[in-house]
Amino acid sequence: MSTTENTEELLGYLRGRVECECNRMEDGAMREALEPLMERFSIQALARVAAEMAQQPAAEQTQAA
């Protein structure tokens, strides 16, 4: 294997690891932020609101087009 192939393979691996670590950190922060809400509301209610909020930007883009 050439050095170029090794470098590309290493960069691909590192990108994957960075993405996984960023997701892990984001998930941890989200869980921590949700704890007080989960004390008051069910996870199903929180998920429903989150899903509605996630769809709002898509609906706004559709209306603007």
pLDDT at 2: 61
Asked if residue 63 has pLDDT above 90, the reply is no
Q: Please give the tally of structural domains in the chain.
A: 1
pLDDT at 3: 73
| pTM for the model | 0.59
Location of structure tokens 């590309």:
8
Asked if residue 65 has pLDDT above 70, the reply is no
Q: What pLDDT, in 10s, does the model give residues 7-57?
A: 999 999 999 999 999 999 999 999 999 999 999 999 999 999 999 999 987
Q: Which domain holds residue 58?
A: 3-64
